[in-house]
Structure 1
């Protein structure tokens, strides 16, 4: 048996699956693509999370696109976080190209251009379905993690939420939360102190400054109503294909705190809403987080712990998380250890630091008799990657350098007219894009403060009036001249004199 035939047998044996699967492409050995040596990822293990990594320009986004398309075709909804703005083309079929035909001929797969059902979502003022959540839904723990608060400050946040629950004050947006904080150390200080204990003004001041920092990154657009219902992420179209939900994030690349805030809120809501799925044959929803280093770059230890917990727990809900970044070292080790599928595109070795990173990356993959992993990592071409997945029993599959199939949809953005058309067809735009500003904690407390101020002013006026009356009364009693002039004896005497004069 030749080395090529041996490799084909090796791949067929390692990637055999009884259930449904996504075909990534065909294996490569000795620099040559082995036709029909299909590298398959079972749907059953796609909720075990994954990583798509590689240097700029090596094809990470196209790999993400390929997986998303194939999942949609199999009725599995997808959520894509699009920070570069180059994923909207999924809605339109590929125009085709001779190089695509050549690639698929080498792989042994037919190429079928097609577009997919797409929903355009937005966190900012860009066009699309608006994503929002109320402060109450976010909760005190998650809000404290995002703001990177101390234990004492976390306690104050918990007290604020408790006060609002006890007094039926809706916490909808950040101005509500700020108003309650100010009330707790201002007009409502006595009320808070009697019910919940003393609250430090220095601590509330720190919390307020951190909220302002979050607002400066655009968080006021995210907090509010109407809240997005995560069930709308798992819709299927009339042809049985899962919707590909694309969140446009091109204008918040420089606001990582807002990105982290949204992502954690979304994951927490999904975890709290979706039922336990157990060991299912297919995932419920797959999320791709592009430019994932933005989440971890400035995250506090508490925030990283929260992310790690969610990654560990959300799998049981049938949710798969896929981090897309340039280098695996961008993802914390504790999170990296939870990832079942690894698609590693080429890495570049320009410096000693790069070579060290490549060596560490190679150690994350199983040994292979067909590859020197460190060497392959630097020699992969565009649209090629090392793949290691989990089989249906949860065991790592053989390492396979793979020529990846091409996306069936357009590898480019939608034109403005196409984008307007896609948004215009959306049923969710009508549901979520109406701004709602109902009475909440801000308005209720302002009214309460205004009423208290009016009552205080009225009481002050009443006291002033009483003091003036009392003062006049005291003055009348104490003045002897007035006493004499108003006495009965004096009046009778004057009247007697007057009578004599008249006579």
Structure 2
């Protein structure tokens, strides 16, 4: 491996000098997450251990690399250590490979030889795992969201609406909120749109400046398409309370929540957007914490490129602001994808901890991505273009934020091995874990209460009833907008965070919504804040 730093200065470092620099750079005072042993000049050096300060994990991170290079095992290993440190973890299990966290691994001769070589004292271990499944589409406890709390931007992402349609959907949410038409599931939203496009609702539609009947019709058709595809089961009640992600086990270890998604690989936008809803809801609920000794939660967002591909500006702005501001609430986010180019620059700039597995350079586009990846690392003693194309499975280039907020030296690292099963757990174990879950009684059975659909049905029935003798009676009006004082915000930031976020979103959502955002001090402004971030208060049953 070439010595790029030495070449620039004209003084090549010896191997021992490089090892000493890495030892110094990765010596920390507080608790750490051990990543592995450095490789220097082609040799594994177990005396040069590479780690990540636990207190810096809410500075966010990136785990990247080509398919099959070991990304999933890396986040598996990190999740184990976080759990052992008492930190809850959330994992999106796209391929079904992470359920093995609940079962102790088997240490074969090859594994033990590898772990001894990096100075790891390997032991088989199992961890407290909670299995979730979107809408109950899988073996886990059902995870649902109401349409209201999911919000117009996230729902527009699922429906693949353009920016104009997204702004129009926001106006529809505003109408429903003002008239106490609760949007719990997709049929509620469909009923509201059908009302607005009917003869009875045309006056209301005209009062919603900026919303055309044609655009409302397009949104309705997309909504019906979601229902036809069977996606209605993901929306409804009981809605999942994201505080469930912050639990610890009786022995003090953090609970690892594993959202199983293998049945949704054909609906990547749906599951990636649901992950964003979870983060947005956490953002709303959690108090400001400042600097902490360890994060309150670490959130691994796998296949992160799916979150950004084809996203509208408003959606990207919402992600950027959420990632930037949620750090102060003690939540660390690790994006897991193939190359840093998969993540927008505004988000990438906030990811202080980098674990980059090998890349492939088979095409001109691959070569361009490789150069872009190298440019995101500090100057080092490695030829990173060579290292990133020749690193073996389970090896990665690492740099993290040290306890003083500065980047550590770049280290090619042979990564540690997990103590639990690296792959899917036995189906019987998963089923038993789900049945024993304290969450199952609370979320296991769907509930269909009175909401917008039922209210509009009742109004239609009343309007079509046979008239009684005497003066004609007008149909009962829609419920009046709420006039009571707004409920106190659950935030403790004095409104500054909300104002900053809403300001960032205002320019991206169209003139109709911008005018409403300017009224952020009104009840409408607060309702939009909840809707935009998917953080409307949950309905209490």
Q: TM-score range by the shorter chain?
A: 0.7 to 0.9
Taking the TM superposition and a 5 Å limit, the aligned residue runs for 1:81-120 are 81-120=92-131
Cα displacement (A) at 1:383: 0.9
Cα deviation for residue 197 of structure 1 reads: 6.1
More helix by share: 1
RMSD value over aligned CA atoms? Answer: 2.4
* Equivalence for 2:362: 350
Give the distance between the partners of 2:71 and 2:166, measured in 1 at CA.
39
| Deviation (angstroms), 1:165 | 3.1
Taking structure 2 as the reference length, the TM-score comes to 0.80
Which of residues 383, 386, 406 in structure 2 aligns to 1:395?
Answer: 406
- Relative distance call for 1:8 and 1:140 in structure 2 (3 A) is same
Residues 119-134 of structure 1 correspond to what in structure 2 (within 5 A)?
A: 119-124=130-135, 125-134=137-146
* 1:385 counterpart = 2:396: yes
Deviation string, structure 1 residues 48-72 (Cα, Å, up to 9, x no partner): 1111111221111100101000000
Map of 1:497 onto structure 2:
none
Distance 1:440 1:108, change over 3 A: same
Contact 1:217 1:255 in 2 (8 A): no
> In the TM superposition, what whole-angstrom CA distance separates every residue of 1:312-355 from its partner, at most 9, and x where no partner exists?
11111111111111222222222212111111111122223222
Which residue of structure 2 lines up, in the alignment, with residue 170 of structure 1? 182
Q: 1:268 to 1:460 in 2, by over 3 A?
A: farther
Equivalent-residue separation in structure 2 for 1:382 and 1:454 (angstroms): 71
Residue number in structure 1 paired with 2:279 = 267
The equivalent of 2:259 in structure 1 is 247
Q: Which runs of 5 or more residues in structure 1 are unaligned?
A: 464-503
Change (3 A) 1:452 1:418: same
> Per-residue deviation at 1:216?
5.0
| 2:258 paired with 1:277 | no
Shift of 1:402: 0.5
Q: Is the 8 A contact 1:90 1:118 kept in 2?
A: yes
- Check whether the contact 1:366–1:398 (CA below 8 A) recurs between aligned residues: yes
Q: How far apart in 2 are the matches of 1:118 and 1:13?
A: 36
**2-side partners of 1:198 and 1:68: how far apart?**
47
The more displaced of 131-140 and 143-152 is: 143-152
Structure 1 residues 103-502: aligned runs within 5 Å: 103-124=114-135, 125-144=137-156, 147=159, 153-154=165-166, 156-189=168-201, 192=204, 196=208, 200-216=212-228, 218-369=230-381, 371-455=382-466
Corresponding position of 2:504: none
Task: Answer yes or no: is the 8 Å Cα contact 1:49–1:340 preserved in 2.
Answer: yes
CA contact (8 A) 1:153 1:207 kept: yes
Deviation, structure 1 residue 161: 3.1
Which residue is 2:537 aligned to? none
What is the SS of the residue equivalent to 2:465? helix
CA contact (8 A) 1:122 1:130 kept: yes
TM-score (norm 1): 0.86
Q: How does 1:65-84 map to 2 (within 5 A)?
A: 65-84=76-95
* Higher deviation after alignment, 444-453 or 217-226: 217-226
| Deviation of 1:156 (Å) | 4.3
Deviations, residues 176-203 of structure 1 (Å, cap 9, x unaligned): 0110111122153256268656953212
Q: CA deviation at 1:219?
A: 3.4
SS of the residue aligned with 2:300?
Answer: strand
C-alpha deviations, 1:329-385, integer Å up to 9, x for none?
22222221211111111112222322222122111111112x111111111111111
> Does the 8 A contact of 1:148 with 1:300 survive in 2?
no
Q: After alignment, is 446-455 or 193-202 more displaced?
A: 193-202
Q: 1:158 to 1:303 in 2, by over 3 A?
A: closer
